[in-house]
Every structure is written in C-alpha cells, then in structure tokens.
Structure 1
C-alpha cells in the first residue's frame, strides 16, 4: 500500500468517517480516497456538511482533514505548485509566481523544463497520475537536448540526469533512460583536463568547458566534481559503457593522492595541477554534497565500496575535531575553516548534515553509533532553532557576539524554499521515530503556506524575521524535487522509498542500490 492509501485509511479512522463522499463533480458517489486529489485542491476554501452517511463538499475550510493528514497537505501543495507552473511557465525552467511567467536562467546551457524533470519523481511518488502524465508528455515531445549554451555540470547532473534516472527506475519507461544516457554523454568533455578533474561549466553543444569566473585561479569546486558519483555509476550500469564510472573513480584517485590539511578537504582544487588552490573548508555551500556522496556511494554499492566509507569516516573525524563547535547557549554547529581560522557560521545548505551523519551512524559500529546519532540530533536541533522566528530559516546563521543561530547580515536573511532542514527531519524521523521531527516538519508546512504561498505558486521570501515578508518571485525547481518530497516522505510509512533500498541523490532523486563490483547488476527493487 502506498503512502497515499495508508494515510487515507488512517484519516478515515481518525475522524470517524463512514460511507462515501457525495461529489459535486457530476453528483457521483466516489470513495474518499479516489477523489482526495480533487478534494484537497478545493479544501483550502471548502467545508463538509454531514448528510445521512455521506459528506457534501462546499466552499469553506477543511481543518480536520488537513490537521490530521499532513501528507495530504504536502501533496496538495505539490499539486498547487505544479498546476501553476504548468499554467504559466510550462517548458521554462522555473515559475515566477508573482508575475505569472516563466524563468529560464543561465545555469542549464539552453536546456529547458528544469521544473518538469525535477518534479517527475515527486509527482509519481505522490500518485498524482494526471500531473505525472503531463510531465512525461513534455519530456517525450518537447525536451530538446540539442542545445548550445553554458551549463553547470553540477546542476545538469543532479537535476536533469538524476531526475531522469530516478523516474526511469520508478516507472521502467524507456524515454527517461534514453534521455539520461544522451545527456550524460554530453557531460563527458568536461573531464578533458590534465588531471581528469572536470571543469564546472560546459557548453552542451560544442563540448568546450571552463571554470567558473568567480572560482579562485581557475579551480574546480569540491561540491561540484564531488557530486557526480551516484549518477555516473548508474549511467555506466544502464549503458554498459564503463567510461562514466572511470571518470568518477579517477576523481577519487586524485583526492586520495593530494595532501589534506588537518585531514580536511578544501573547496577549491586545480583541474590542471590537482592541488588545492586555497584552504577554505565548508560543510555548506561549495563543499556540502561531496561528503554526502561518500557515504551514499558506499550505501549504493550494497556496502562494498570500502574506499568511499573510509574517505567518509576520515573526513567526518576531521570535521568533528576541527569544525564542530558548541555555542555559549549550548547549540552544536559546524563552523567554516579559512586557512586555519574559524568562521562561526552555518549556511542553510549545511543543515543537510544532520541527516547525513544519522544515515552514516547506522553503520558506524556499536561503539560510535550512539555518539554520531547524538551529534546528528544536536545539529538538526540547531537548524530547527534557526527557524524559530517564523518557522522558516535564513540562508546563513551565526554564533558570535552573543548571537545564537541567527542571521546578523541583511544579505543572509532570505529563504528561497530550500530543503536541507526538512531533509534532516525526514532522515531523523526514519532513523529514530522521535515524534518531534514530524512536529517540526508540520511547522514548516504551515509556515510555507502562511509566508510563501502566493496566488500562483510558492515564492521565496527576502527576510525570515518579519511576519509580512516580501517575495522574491521565484518558485525554485528544487522546491518540487526536494522540499515537498521530503515533507511528504516525513509523514509516510518507512517502506515508502525505504532507506534500505533507495539512496537519494543531492536533489532528492531516488536511485536503487547496485550490487557487484562497480554496479555490475542493478538490485531488483520496485517502488512501494
């Protein structure tokens, strides 16, 4: 039984619903679970009147259902976000919900439909069948890979390749596999460097690649070249071509060869020399998902990739020794490191680490498991504290001059619908079943509805410390790929995309485990 079906059954029992709903759509009698998608779409302004053994839907509120079924609430939010994207921006990369038009941007090298591809697996998991078919049709008919423009290797990989791979594994539909493989081929020229460390930007038409203009001394970024491993192993598995796996295994060789200051991995590495360019270490932006992919590579390998596990264990030990600190108020956080000098701040992006550490703790050995679970819980609690004012958190928060988990700079107060905090809530719930994580997730759901929902979608806000925020007019594709998916899964049963069977890429796209050496054979798994 799916999350939707299980939750529906529980909702019926919890509010004592018997019989059926009288649908005003054609006056036909339908089981509640079959019309729930429509019901929720109307529930923001709907009320139920009790008839003999039946319910009638009329405009007003539906607080009982929503308060007892948070997974339905997150599903309704997904439908609202998708419907408005489809109405005003289908084929563009993202929706501008205030001006009701689309946004293309310059991250994807001429590729379109980032929200479509990012949303595919979420729509499928939530059983929004009509919406999923709309997205699938766009991929089949309109998703053009013959483009010419500057693309982020990292973003194209995690959003497009990851989204297509995940949807293929969930559905078995060949169109997603073929598009993923074709796009993967277009990324390979980025690895044509003296070290094999890929550059961050690639022209998908010409194959030319270069480093970001802002990257120090033409360097490549740890979180970018270190966040390819999961997807590229699956590309080799599905294509039978070992080149994808060879490219990412070579990255490992370079990283194992270069000396790590204090055992830490700086964020900038030269693709020419293979040496660090500057000693800035962050578990947030520029570094974050590199560490995530180490432990997840081990898990995805059916726990056979011992090299990844050792790299993760050693990195976490160095992070805990040099970067993990406790504030005067008792909050545990992970500072940044700049050439030996600590910067006592955490970015919102670093809040994924609570979930990552908990995931790794399950396999740390009995003597270390509880220690790492405690550390994961403390970091997740700190990130929850950063959400204290409006139940949404800033882009970065600090621990200095008496400040505790707050943004002290105007430029850090914004929230762009990021997922990292609810990501950790989901992992912590699945691994501990402490009800506070669901309570915290429900706080976020209500805050998103209150502060980010606008007439035509969801928008980021410019200041999380005001109850009347201004909006940034952007519904990010990762809001549909990650934030809403993690919230939905937080309230699902554990066997819905079980952590025993699936590994989420850094864009929350689920990939199945591999068995054998370097993924000789896909483990037989089906979506539950």
Structure 2
C-alpha cells in the first residue's frame, strides 16, 4: 500500500504537497506558507522503517537538492511543525543523515518568532519570510496537539544542538511549559491530568478525533498512574477504543466519519452530513496499535485488518488512495486527495500494528501528532548536555 501510494505520488505529483489521484496531478495549497514536498518529508521515516530504501534515497535526494525553505508566505505553525520539523527530526534520529539536521535547524529558526508572546505559548500563524506571527483564523493561538508537539520538538532541537546559539529554543520551551502549568493543567477527581480549554489560547480538536486518539493515549499513561488505578485506566482506554471501532463498524464502508456523536438516538455515528467524510485519517488505527502493544489482545490486529480491507476496497483508486465524502453511502464518492498524513501516519501505524514490539519500542520512542518517532530524552541525558532547568528539574515526565 505504501509503495503504491508513493509510486503514484512520484509519478503524478513529485515535489508538490499532495497527490490528487483522480485527476493525476499535484496539490500545493497555502497551509505550509509556500513550502513544497510535504508528502516527501512526511514519508521519509515510513519509507525507512519499512525498508523501502530506494524510495527513501529518492526522498532524501529531493530534500537535499530541492527543499527550499526560503518561502515568504503565511504558514500554520502546527502543520509545519508536525509535518516538516517532525519529519526531518525523525529522519535524522533514525538515519543520522546530516542533511536532515541541517534542514530542520534552518526551518526551526524560521518558526521561533511565533513563540515570542507574553506567555511563551506560540501564535498559530507565522510568515516564514518576515517572521511576523498572528492568531489563527479561528481567533485562537494553537491547538493542544500543536502545543505538545511544538514543545517536545523544540526541546529535541535544543538537545540536538547543545550550543549557546540555540539556547533561545530551550528557554522558550520552559517558559511556555510554565505558562501551561499555571493556566491549563488541571487534575480530574479520578487523578488523571488533563489540559483544560483556555479561550485565550487553546483550540481543541473535534471530539471524534480527540476520543479516538485518547484511547491509545490513556493506555500509555496507565503505567504512570497510581498503582491501584492502572488497570482502571487501561480498561477505560480499551472502552474508548472499542467505541471508536464501533464508529467504523456501523458505517457501510467500515470506515469512520470525521466526527461522531451520541444524540438523537444515534450512538457512535455521524448524524450531520458535514461529519460523514473520511480523509484517510489515522487516529483509530493509532489506538489499535497502542492497545496491541499494551495488551496483545488479538482483536486489535483483527480490527486493523478490517481497516486495511476497507481502505483497499473503498479508497484505493487507479492512481493512489483517496478520501471519501460519505462513509455511510454504499456507492462511494471520492474527494480526489491523497493526504500526506496517510503515508506518514495511517500506513505507518498499520505497519507497526503487525510488526514485532521491538520495532520502535514505546519505551524509547514517542510519536508526534504526525506519527514521526522522536527519541525519548531522559533526565540523565539532559544533565549530561546541560539542558536542565536552573532548579535541576525537567518537565519531560
């Protein structure tokens, strides 16, 4: 599936951000501020992990010779960070290729001005040429996913350099984390830590995505919960993941809608026409992968294979994979877009679901919102490289 998606992207959309498989051409858009090659950068680690080395070398060569970071357009900090910064960082840590380090440092410097706010929490839109930043069109600064990714990736970037010239990134990280601790992080009665919605700076994701994403996240967090609550948290993660599977199994295509609800007598289904589409999203499959790693219950692999069969039946077209407009329609209508995150996330999580646990073990790697694996940096490493806070503490845990 990955090779088929990649080969068609290369044939019809090389250098563009995404492939339009029905019309067999490329799509650029304006989300990345003029940056190109999103599917190439997003695919780097997936190609490498899958052992598609010829394709990986093609991608690496394009990045070395053609990835131009001197754009002058307004970009989503969140999207550029998770796809480009995350993709390049991951490729560097997996392969050691210096070109990825060089490019990510150059791009990271262009994004840093967005963090220059009173709280340290970044604005959501930045001009990659001028460095000016602004609120996102919705009026909020950045999403919760964007906060988490931005901070961890910039801490990784600071650790990677360990040079005085890059201490600005480290300082911004700790300043923003302090703002989150002060304004956002709260404790639920059951003991779980969560990030509250803050109207001055946070835009939450749609609940459908958030719920399906949270199944795996709560499962991962179970090990760090109070001893008497760990099984409770794991059971809760399993129940959320089951609900997300139901959103797939209750559709005609066996693929889930963009958002689902529990009202008007409907459970785990989209009762609004505007929520019925599926754009090759990974969140449910991501939870299957995490829950398999945590429990080794074979149902998660069975559910993953159901998703593979549905993707092959309904989303595979002659020149790639396409999202569909209504998961409940027996005759599908395609949206003519092979999203870059399909190669970066959906196919990677499926591959990991059916791989051995020692491929990117969860104790050593953390996946960003775009499924780019980044190394877990432990306190000992931070102490050795002098990147601890003045009080000797770190917020990584």
Contact 1:348–1:393 (CA<8 Å) still a contact in 2? no
Provide the rounded CA distance (Å) in 2 between the counterparts of 1:214 and 1:354: 27
In structure 2, runs of 5+ residues without a counterpart are 189-193, 386-397
Provide the rounded CA distance (Å) in 1 between the counterparts of 2:384 and 2:2: 34
Counterpart of 1:405 in 2: which secondary structure?
strand
The aligned residue for residue 221 of structure 2 is 360
The verdict on how the C-alpha distance between 1:260 and 1:373 changes in structure 2, with shifts beyond 3 A counting, is closer
CA drift of 1:362 comes to 1.9
The aligned residue for residue 377 of structure 2 is 514
The aligned residue for residue 73 of structure 2 is 149
In structure 1, runs of 5+ residues without a counterpart are 1-76, 286-345, 523-528
Contact 2:211–2:244 (CA<8 Å) still a contact in 1? no
Counterpart of 2:263 in 1: which secondary structure?
coil
Counterpart of 2:123 in 1: which secondary structure?
coil
The verdict on how the C-alpha distance between 1:520 and 1:187 changes in structure 2, with shifts beyond 3 A counting, is farther
Out of 112, 120, 126, the residue aligned to residue 188 of structure 1 is 112
Provide the rounded CA distance (Å) in 2 between the counterparts of 1:94 and 1:349: 25
Provide the rounded CA distance (Å) in 2 between the counterparts of 1:224 and 1:439: 31
Counterparts of 1:296-335 in structure 2 under 5 Å? Answer: none
The verdict on how the C-alpha distance between 1:439 and 1:521 changes in structure 2, with shifts beyond 3 A counting, is farther
Counterpart of 2:260 in 1: which secondary structure?
strand
Give the structure-2-normalised TM-score.
0.90
Counterparts of 1:99-498 in structure 2 under 5 Å? Answer: 99-215=23-139, 219-240=141-162, 241-258=166-183, 265-270=195-200, 282=204, 284-285=205-206, 346-388=207-249, 389=251, 390-498=253-361
- Rg larger for: 1
Give the structure-1-normalised TM-score.
0.68
Provide the rounded CA distance (Å) in 1 between the counterparts of 2:360 and 2:257: 29
Contact 2:184–2:198 (CA<8 Å) still a contact in 1? no
Provide the rounded CA distance (Å) in 1 between the counterparts of 2:13 and 2:80: 19
Provide the rounded CA distance (Å) in 2 between the counterparts of 1:509 and 1:149: 25
| Higher RCO (C-alpha under 8 Å, 6+ residues apart) | 2
Counterpart of 1:507 in 2: which secondary structure?
coil
Out of 503, 512, 517, the residue aligned to residue 366 of structure 2 is 503
Q: How many pairs does the alignment contain?
A: 375
